[in-house]
A and B are shown apart, each in its own frame.
Chain A
Amino acid sequence: MDEKDVSESPQPSEEITLGDVGRLLGRKLKEMTTVFYLLIILAAASFLATLIPQHQPAEHYLQRYGPLPGYLIMATGLNHVSTAGWFLGLLAVLMLSLLLCANHLYRLGASRWSLPAASFISRFTDGSGSLSHELRQEPQTAVQTVLAASRRAGFRGWDRGLAEDRSCLYLVRHRWTAWGATLAHYAVFAIGLGALLGSLPGISVNDYLEVNEHQTSTGAAKQLPFDVRLNSFTLKHFSGTQHVENYYSDVSLLVAGEEVRRQVISVNQPLKYRGYYLVQSSWGLGAAQLAIKRPGGKPAQKLEFPLDKEACPVGHDPGTTCWGVPSEESIIFLPDQQAALVAVAFYPEARRQGTEVIEQPAGLSGTAALKLVLVSRLPASRGRREAAAPPARQIDAGVQVSFTQMTAPGASPGGSSPTPPTPEAGGMPHAMQELGWVLAGETVSTAVGDISFTRVTRSTGLGIRKDPGVPLVWTGFIACLLGLVMIFYLPLQQGYVTVTPRQNDPAGCQVSLRLRGGPLTETQADTHRLLENIIAAEGAVTPPTGRKDQ
C-alpha cells in the first residue's frame, strides 16, 4: 500500500471510459486514506454496537433512549449493526480494498524475494548508515571471508557479481518472511470471506430450538432436515451451591420418524450431524404434570399446566425470569366431573417448613410446588366456552379467580396482579376447595379424586448451527498468525556489501556494509556486529574505521 507503488493511471483522454472509472476506484481503494476512513467508521460502529444493546424489540429503544433517538437508532440500523446493510456494505468495500492491498503486497514480496542487481547493491552501500572497513586481503578472498562470516551470523549470502570494479554481495536473513505482510493480508481477507459465507442465509444456519421433555420439535418449520426429541434433561449443580456445573440433554434426531442418532448433548459437547451442530445453549421448565385418580376405578387422568418463564406480575423488571403458569392456561376443566382445577401460584423450587411452603433459590435441591384451587359443581358447564355466570371469590390474599378468565384471559394466577372484582351473579351454586400448596410427588384428596403433582418436566434450548465458512476462517487464522509472526518476530533482514579493491594495493580492499531490515531489529547495532564478525574472520585486530555520513 505504499503510495509510491500505486500504479499511475493512463493519460486522460477526451472521453472518460468505464475502465478509467474502474482504475480510479481501484486506486482509491488501495490508498491508505480510504482504508483508514473505512476502518475508523467500522470501528466506531462496532464500538457503538457494544454500547447500544443489539437485537432488542422496538419498545426497548423507544423506552430507553426516548422517541426520537430511539427511532433514529432503529432507522440507522444501530440496533443491529452487524447485520445492517451499510455495515456489511462497508465491510465488503474493506474486503475488496484488502484484496487489492494483498495483491500489491504480493508483488512487493516478490521483489524482496528476488536477488538485487549488483548496481543496486553498489548504490545502496554508498548511502547513509553504512559501515566500512579496510581488509588486508585480496578482493576475491575478502568476498569469501564476508560470505563465511555472514553465514555464521545467520545470513545467506550471494555474490551478485561486479558493478564497476566492486564485487557486490547480497545477504539475507529470514528470507521467506518477505511474504509475511502478503500472507497476513490474504489471511484477513480469508477470514472476512469465511465470515461472509457463515452469515449468508440459505447455506448457513444459526437457529434456536426449544424442546420439552418427552416431546418432539419438528425441524421442518426451520428448514431443518430432522426433528429433535428430548428424551430427558438433567441439570447438575455444584453440590450445595446454586452454580450450574453443566446441563445435559439426551436427544434423538429423527428423520421421517426414524431415529438416526441419539446422543447426550452438554455444554462443550455438541452433536454433529451432516454439517449441523446442535449446541446446548439454555434450559427451562416444560410443564407441571398432574394425575387424578378418579373414584370408582376409572383410569387415572393426566393433566398438564404449561410453564413459562415470563409469568411475572405486572410492573416486574423486564428481563427477569419468573417461572409460572401463564394466566390464560391456568385453568383446566374436568368436564365429566363438572369441575375446574386452577393453578394459582408456582415455585420452581420450594420446601415445606411446618405448615408453610417457602420458595428456595435454584440449585438448593428444593422441589417444585404448585398452589391449586378446585372449583366444582359448575352448572351447565360442559366445555371450556360454556361457562355460566361468572362466580368470583377471593381465594387467597389478593388473588381472585373469575371464570370469565376462560374467555377473556387477563389476570395472572402466579402472583399479585389484581383482577377487578366481578359481581357475584345469580347465586350459582358452586363449591370452591383450596387445595393449598402441593409439592411435586405429593397427593391431595378431593371430591373429584386424588390429585397428585407428578413432576415438572424440563425443556432444553438447543442452538442449531451450520457454518460452511469455518474452514476458511481457520485457515485465515493460522495464516494471519504466521504472517504476523513473520512481520514482527522474524523480520526480513537484508544486507548489502561491496568489496572495493584498493587502487595502489592489490593485497588490500575496502568492505562496505549496510543492513536494512525489520522494524524491531536494531539495524545499526546488527551492522556493527556483522562487521565485527567479518573483521574477526579476517583475523585483523584494527577496529572499524567509522561510519560514513555520521
Chain B
Amino acid sequence: MPHSGKTLSRRLAATLPSFEAMDQAIYRTIAFGFPLLTMVIITGAVWAQYVWQRWWGWDPKETASLVTWLIYAGYLHGRRNRGWQGITTARFAVLGFLAVLFTLAGVNFLDSLHSYGQPVRVASSSLLAGFAGLSRPETYLTIAFFVGHLLAFLLVLSGVISDRLVSTRAGIVVASLALLANTAVLILRCVEAGRLTFTSGYDFSLWFVWGITVVGLWVALRRTPLALVASLPVALLICMYGYLYFPHKGHVPLPPALQNKLWLHVHVALAIFAYGALALGAGWGALYLLKSALAGRGAAAEGAVRAAGK
C-alpha cells in the first residue's frame, strides 16, 4: 500500500480528541498535579527541617523541583490571565514534565542529597544484565510488567486507530494486568527489604511508573482510553531508565536521614501521584503536538493538491 503511512497518520490525527478536548485534558492533569507537586515540595521542606533544621538548602533536587513548580505556576497564571490555551498548554505540559524528569533523573548525576545509589553514567549494554541478583518470581513479574506496558500501548493504539473496541478493551485489560504485575513486584521488593522501598533510583522508577499507570488507567476508564496512549509511553521510558541505569537492584539500608518514616512516606507517596498526573499531562501534550504537526502537514498537502488541480 503506497499511501499507508499517510493514511495511518491521517487516521491517527482523526482519532485523537479535538484540540479543545486535549487542551482541557492537559489542563485538568496540571490543575490536579500542581497542588500535589506543591505538597511534595512542602513535605520535603518540613522533613528537611526535622532532619537538618534547615527547610531549604538549595540542594539540586530542591532547586529542580522549584523550577518545575515555577514552570507550572507560570503556565497556570498565563492561562488564567492571558488565555494561554491550545498549543501553549501542550508545550508547557511537555516542558514542565522535562523539568520533572530532570528533578527525578537528571540530578542523580549531580551531587545531591537525593542522588540515589549511584546510577551508572552509561546504560548497561546487555539488556538482560539488569535482572542479575533478582529472585526468579521478581524477574518474571518484572518482565511481565514491562512487556505488558508495551503490549497495552500497542493494543489501545491499534484499537483507537482502527476503531476496534475489542482491541482497545484488551489494551485496558492488559494495562490493568501490567499494573497488577507492577504492584506485585513492589510488594515483593517491600517484603524482601522489610520496609517500603523508597530509596533507590530503581525502586523509585517502579513507584513512579505505578503512579503514571494508575492515573492513566483511571482517566482511561472514566473518560477516554486514549489516556493510556498518552501515559504508557512515558511509563515505559521511565521503566527503561530505572532498569538500565541502576544495575544494582539489591536493597541498601536506609541512611540515617531517611529513617524518619512518616515524612519519607508522605513525601514520596505524594510525589508518585503528582508526577503520575503530570506525566499524563505531558503525554497528552505530546499527542497534541503530534496532532498539530499531522494536521499542519495534512493542510499543507491539501493546499499542494489544490494548487496542482488548478
Give the Cβ gap from A57 to chain B, nearest Cβ, in Å.
15
A271 to B248, CA, bound (A): 37
Q: Which residues of A contact B2 (CB under 8 A)?
A: none
Q: Is A428 an interface residue (CB 8 A)?
A: no
Within 8 A of B (CB), among A222-277: 238, 241, 243-247, 266-268, 270, 277
Interface string of A6-25 (1 = CB under 8 A from B): 00000000000000000000
| A1 touching B81, Cβ below 8 Å | yes
**A477-B42 CB under 8 A given contacts A243-B253, A268-B256:** yes
Binds A, one of B62-70, B148-156, B301-309: B62-70
Give the Cβ gap from B59 to chain A, nearest Cβ, in Å.
9
A470 to B52, CA, bound (A): 13
Within 8 A of B (CB), among A402-416: none
Within 8 A of B (CB), among A15-59: 32, 35-36, 39-40, 42-43, 46-47, 49-51, 53-54
**A50-B259 CB under 8 A given contacts A32-B82, A243-B252, A481-B39:** no
Q: Is B4 an interface residue (CB 8 A)?
A: no
Give the Cβ gap from A347 to chain B, nearest Cβ, in Å.
24
Q: Is B230 an interface residue (CB 8 A)?
A: no
| B67 touching A46, Cβ below 8 Å | yes
A50, A477, A481: the one within 8 Å of B63 (CB): A50
A280 to B28, CA, bound (A): 43
| B58 touching A82, Cβ below 8 Å | yes
**A32-B77 CB under 8 A given contacts A488-B32, A520-B28:** yes
Q: Is A339 an interface residue (CB 8 A)?
A: no
Give the Cβ gap from B37 to chain A, nearest Cβ, in Å.
10
A485 to B239, CA, bound (A): 31
Within 8 A of B (CB), among A457-512: 463, 465, 467, 470, 473-474, 477, 480-481, 484-485, 487-489
Q: Is A164 an interface residue (CB 8 A)?
A: no
| A50 touching B107, Cβ below 8 Å | yes
Within 8 A of A (CB), among B84-117: 107, 110-111
Give the Cβ gap from B133 to chain A, nearest Cβ, in Å.
16
B42, B45, B82, B256: the one within 8 Å of A266 (CB): B256
Q: Is B255 an interface residue (CB 8 A)?
A: yes
Interface centre among A2, A281, A488, A489 (most CB of B within 10 A): A488
Give the Cβ gap from A200 to chain B, nearest Cβ, in Å.
15
| B259 touching A480, Cβ below 8 Å | no
Q: Is A279 an interface residue (CB 8 A)?
A: yes
Q: Which residues of A contact B60 (CB under 8 A)?
A: 50
| A36 touching B74, Cβ below 8 Å | yes
A241 to B254, CA, bound (A): 12
Bin the interface of chain A by size: 35 or more
**A477-B46 CB under 8 A given contacts A46-B66, A47-B67, A51-B110:** yes
| A519 touching B31, Cβ below 8 Å | yes
Give the Cβ gap from A173 to chain B, nearest Cβ, in Å.
17
Q: Which residues of A contact B55 (CB under 8 A)?
A: 467, 470, 473
Q: Is B126 an interface residue (CB 8 A)?
A: no
A39, A49, A241, A477: the one within 8 Å of B45 (CB): A477
Give the Cβ gap from A247 to chain B, nearest Cβ, in Å.
7
| A35 touching B77, Cβ below 8 Å | yes
| A32 touching B78, Cβ below 8 Å | yes
| A3 touching B253, Cβ below 8 Å | no
A36, A244, A519: the one within 8 Å of B255 (CB): A244
A315 to B139, CA, bound (A): 44
Q: Is B7 an interface residue (CB 8 A)?
A: no
Give the Cβ gap from B39 to chain A, nearest Cβ, in Å.
6
A123 to B130, CA, bound (A): 66
Q: Is B140 an interface residue (CB 8 A)?
A: no
A1 to B39, CA, bound (A): 24
| A277 touching B81, Cβ below 8 Å | no
Q: Which residues of B contact A467 (CB under 8 A)?
A: 53-55
Q: Which residues of B contact A473 (CB under 8 A)?
A: 45, 55
A51 to B67, CA, bound (A): 13
Q: Which residues of A contact B70 (CB under 8 A)?
A: 39, 42-43, 46
Q: Which residues of A contact B50 (CB under 8 A)?
A: 268
In the complex, what residue of chain B is closest to A319 when comparing beta carbons? Answer: B111
Give the Cβ gap from A362 to chain B, nearest Cβ, in Å.
14
| A268 touching B42, Cβ below 8 Å | no
The 7 closest A-B pairs by CB, nearest first: A267-B256, A484-B35, A50-B60, A277-B53, A465-B53, A243-B253, A238-B253
If A39-B74, A47-B64, A520-B32 are given as contacts, then 15 extra A-B residue pairs at C-beta distance below 8 Å, sorted by A number, are A36-B77, A39-B70, A43-B67, A50-B67, A50-B110, A243-B252, A244-B255, A245-B256, A268-B257, A279-B53, A467-B53, A467-B55, A481-B35, A484-B38, A519-B27
Residue pairs across A and B with Cβ atoms less than 8 A apart, 17 shown, are: A35-B77, A36-B77, A46-B58, A82-B58, A244-B256, A246-B259, A267-B256, A277-B53, A465-B52, A470-B49, A473-B45, A477-B42, A480-B38, A485-B35, A488-B31, A519-B27, A519-B31
Please report B residues at the A interface, Cβ cutoff 8 Å. 27-28, 31-32, 34-35, 38-39, 42, 45-46, 49-56, 58, 60, 63-64, 66-67, 70-71, 73-74, 77-82, 107, 110-111, 252-253, 255-257, 259-260
